[in-house]
Amino acid sequence: MDLLLPIFSFPWWGYALVTLALTHVTIVSVTIYLHRHQAHRALDLHPLASHFFRFWLWLTTGMITKEWTAIHRKHHAKCETAEDPHSPQVTLRRLEGPWRRAVFMWKWVLWSGVRSYVRESHIAETLERYGSNTPNDWVERRIYARHAKLGALLLLPAVNIVLFGWVGLAIWVIQMFWIPVFAAGIINGVGHAWGYRSFASFHRITKEEDASRNILPWGILIGGEELHNNHHWVETSAKLSFQWYEFDVGWMYIRMLEMTGLAHNVKRAQSRT
Cβ-count burial of 216 within 10 angstroms (0-12 exposed, 13-18 middle, 19+ buried)?
A: middle
Distance (Å) of CA 167 to CA 60, 84, 172, 256? 17, 39, 9, 33
**Residue 155 within any structural domain of the chain:** no
- pLDDT of 273: 41
Q: Within a domain: residue 272?
A: no
Cα separation, 106 vs 161, whole angstroms: 32
**The pLDDT of residue 270:** 65
φ, ψ (nearest 5 deg) of residue 136: -140, 35
Answer whether residue 7 is part of any domain. Answer: no
Q: Is residue 159 part of a domain?
A: no
Q: Residue 254: inside a domain, yes or no?
A: yes
Query: What pLDDT does 81 receive?
Result: 86
Listing DSSP states for 33-45 in one string gives: IIIIIIIT--SEE
The amino acid at 228: H
Judge whether 2 lies within some domain.
Answer: no
The verdict on residue 165 lying in a domain is no
| The pLDDT value given to residue 1 | 44
Residue type, 75: H
Residue 254: which domain range? 14-147+174-264
- Beta bridge mates, 196: 214
Nearest CA among 146, 86, 152 for reference residue 117: 86
pTM exceeds 0.85: yes
Number of domains in the chain: 1
Evaluate whether residue 8 is within a structural domain.
Answer: no
**How far does CA 82 lie from the centroid of its chain?**
22
CA distance 95 to 37: 36
pLDDT tens string, the chain, 273 residues long: the values are 455 578 999 999 999 999 999 999 999 999 999 999 999 999 999 999 999 999 999 999 999 999 999 999 999 999 888 898 888 887 777 777 777 777 787 777 778 888 889 999 999 999 999 999 999 999 999 999 999 999 999 999 999 999 999 999 999 999 998 888 887 788 888 888 889 999 988 876 677 788 899 999 999 999 999 999 999 999 999 999 999 999 999 999 999 999 999 999 999 886 544
